[in-house]
């Protein structure tokens, strides 16, 4: 019994690191929301930045490719929370730990000239690579929501 509990604890602590791992030029993300009608909030997919001309997001049911020169906004922010439920159930020491969720917003104009936006939840291991790659591909500077996001995004 204790072996299965220990194994479960190890899996729960290492699973988030594996979910966010990137293959070269790709990052696994979750579509948090936006104006792209092709995707539902929570859809898991991957961002690909290997193409010189297009930013691409692929999910199981849909795909979207946006020319880099149509992207006009790159924004990075975080949502920081404490694990209150875990602290109440397991140990008050968990109150000291913060959980950070990383969000990337990509704004662009579609083929009709209409402004669109997509918000992605990105794993902590991929956010810096995505930000640097998008800055290089688009020629835009990432806008940071606050000083904590700036620190996390710049490393």
26 or 92, which is more confident?
26
Counting residues of the chain whose pLDDT is more than 70, the rounded percentage is: 66
Residues 33, 41 contacting (CB under 8 angstroms) = yes
Which residue ranges make up each domain of the chain?
Answer: 21-154
142 or 146, which is more confident?
142
Token pair 């924004």: residue: 75
Token pair 């500077």: residue: 141
99 or 132, which is more confident?
132
18: Cβ contacts below 8 Å, ≥ 6 apart: none
Q: Does domain 21-154 have CATH number 2.30.29.30?
A: yes
35 by Cβ neighbours in 10 Å (0-12 / 13-18 / 19+) ranks as middle
Examine the pLDDT at 12 and tell me if it is beyond 50. Answer: no
Q: What is the pLDDT of residue 97?
A: 55
Among 21-25, 47-51, 84-88, 143-147, name the most confident range. 47-51
pLDDT tens for each residue of 27-84: 899 999 999 889 999 999 999 999 999 999 999 999 999 999 999 999 998 876 544 4
Q: What is the mean pLDDT of residues 138-151?
A: 82
């Amino acid at each position: 019994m204790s072996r299965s509990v220990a194994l479960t604890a190890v899996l729960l602590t290492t699973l988030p690191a594996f979910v966010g791992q990137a293959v070269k030029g790709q990052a696994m993300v979750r579509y948090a929301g936006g104006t792209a009608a092709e995707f539902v909030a929570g859809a898991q997919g991957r961002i690909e930045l290997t193409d010189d001309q297009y930013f691409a997001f692929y999910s199981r049911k849909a795909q979207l490719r946006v020319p880099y020169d149509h992207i006009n906004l790159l924004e990075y922010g975080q949502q920081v929370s404490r694990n209150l439920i875990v602290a109440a159930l397991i140990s008050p020491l968990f109150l000291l730990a913060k959980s950070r969720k990383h969000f990337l917003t990509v704004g662009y104009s579609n083929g009709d000239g209409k402004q669109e936006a997509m918000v992605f939840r990105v794993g902590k291991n991929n956010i810096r690579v995505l930000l640097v790659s998008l800055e290089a591909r688009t020629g835009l500077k990432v806008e940071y929501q606050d000083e904590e996001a700036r620190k996390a995004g710049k490393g």
